[in-house]
Structure 1
Amino acid sequence: MKLLLVAATSFEVKDFISYCNSPEVEREHQVDLLVTGVGMVATAFSMGRALASRDFDLAINAGIAGSFNRDLKIGETVVVKEDRFAELGAENNDDFLSIDELGFGTSSYKSSFSHSFLNSLSGVSGITVNKVHGRQSSIESTIKLLKPDIESMEGAAFFYACKEVNLPALQLRSISNYVEPRNKDSWQIPLAVTNLNATLNGFIRQL
């Protein structure tokens, strides 16, 4: 199976890539790594360039994320069922009009891949942002408007690119922090990265 692994940074998936170079995996799969850089613009450009020149059976977006949902545990790996461009639209005084409501496009994209292995993971809704939330008032307004579980800076752009070329797409995220007024002392990035890679390893063994 030809797989495209998409990550904003190589740090987030380095252990998985090492595992993919093992004979056990290489007998069954060809895994190409695409490190896009952080953000939806970098992701969209990198995806477009990669998908224009190569064909794949499945694309996997993997990385860390912040969680609005306190029922999700720090370090937990989740599967993103739907992702949305949170800021794509227009302000209307105190209201927000999505690109859908304006009639100019679509802001929300869904996962197009399922597998029994994923049933053990929490399925979540995500938002993709240019500016991660760190102010209580904006956090509260975002929860009220969109009711997201997690946020990232790449997910919806990844889903968008895959949809445009009809490529099955899977997004896995591991929770590194809760979305709250910025407090880096509470972040657990190494734990999130370790658990994300363990999940990726387990998934590819069953694929």
Structure 2
Amino acid sequence: MSPVIVTASTEMEVSLLISGCSALPVAGFDHPGVYRGERGGSEVIIGITGIGKVNAAYATTLLLERYTPRLLVNTGCGGAFPGSGLGVGDLAVASSESLADEGVQTPQGWRGLDLIGIPVFEKRGEKVFNEIPLARDLAEQARFDAETRGYRTALGGFLTVSTCSGTAVRGTEMLQRFPGICENMEGGAVAQVALIYGVPFLELRGISNLVEDRDFRRWNLQLAVTNAQQFLLTYLDNLNARQQ
């Protein structure tokens, strides 16, 4: 059976997955760090990509060239936008991913890649500019599973940025570009590579903070990544039964 690949930007975001899958390092990957284990009868490949879109895309491409997964999962922490209903420690599941700061700053304001007219992906007449569609069934099932296990969870659009929104004003500006519930720095890149390779993709993040005027005292990175990983371990436990 084909493996499941899980990616995250830092070791902290996958450390519980590595131990929970009894995963060991895979030789031949200097960057990213790659681990191979098993959970619930599924082979699991875990990749630590590094921060940002370039690292995420590079690492994901390496993994998809080496392995042919039945599912690619991107996880980690993220910031929840006002109005999402999410708080610190809750889970966010992506229904879409938007490359939220790639476009053109015009005298009339920011515009997306459609203004340039060059898509980031094009195949059989489908053109993708900023917003990358994701598999709705995978996302809805993950949200249902998380809620069933007692996690407060929301499903909605994710915004991937190169510069995190450290003010409430900036967060409002980003939501005017694309509707969303969660901001992150890698998911859109991983989603774009998954689209190119035709691999089913799921993104789930623990909320470490709200998108507001930056106040690290209100953050809880450990709670966010712990909840996301603990849920993913139970998700992997039941994946084979769900896909039969």
TM > 0.5 fold call: yes
Contact 1:69–1:150 (Cα < 8 Å) also in 2: no
The alignment's C-alpha RMSD in Å is 1.9
Stretches of structure 1 lacking an aligned partner (at least 5 in a row): none
> What is the deviation of 1:49?
1.9
Q: Are 1:76 and 1:192, in contact at CA under 8 Å, matched by a contact in 2?
A: yes
Segment of structure 1 superposing worse, 11-20 or 132-141: 132-141
Task: Indicate the residue corresponding to 2:103 in structure 1.
Answer: 89
The answer on whether the counterparts of 2:104 and 2:110 sit within 8 Å (CA) in structure 1 is yes
Deviation at 1:32, TM superposition (A): 0.8
Task: String of CA shifts for 1:5-31, please: whole Å, max 9, x gaps.
Answer: 111011112112211128x94561111
Distance 1:82 1:100 in 2: 17
Q: Residue in 1 aligned with 2:72? A: 59
Identity %: 25
**Aligned residue in 1 for 2:17:** 16
Q: Is 1:108 matched up with 2:131?
A: yes
Return the offset for 1:157.
0.4
Which residue identity lines up with residue 96 of structure 1 in the other structure?
A: W
> Which whole-Å deviations, capped at 9, do the CAs of 1:153-173 have from their partners, x for residues lacking one?
001101000010100111010
Higher relative contact order (CA closer than 8 Å, sequence separation 6+): 1
**1:98 matched to 2:112:** yes
Counterpart among 128, 133, 152 of residue 165 in structure 2: 133
- Output the CA distance in 1 between the equivalents of 2:168 and 2:39: 47
Aligned to 2:44: 31
Task: Give the Å deviation of 1:84.
Answer: 0.4
Q: Which residue of 1 aligns with 2:94?
A: 80
Q: Distance in 1 between matches of 2:21 and 2:93?
A: 20
Alignment coverage as a number of residue pairs: 206
| Letter aligned with residue 234 of structure 2 | G
- Counterpart residue identity of residue 110, structure 2: F
Rounded Cα–Cα distance in structure 1 between residues aligned with 2:161 and 2:52:
8
**Which SS does the other structure have where 2:14 is aligned?**
helix
Distance 2:106 2:72 in 1: 37
Correspondent of 1:190 among 222, 228, 237: 222
Amino acid at match of 2:45: D
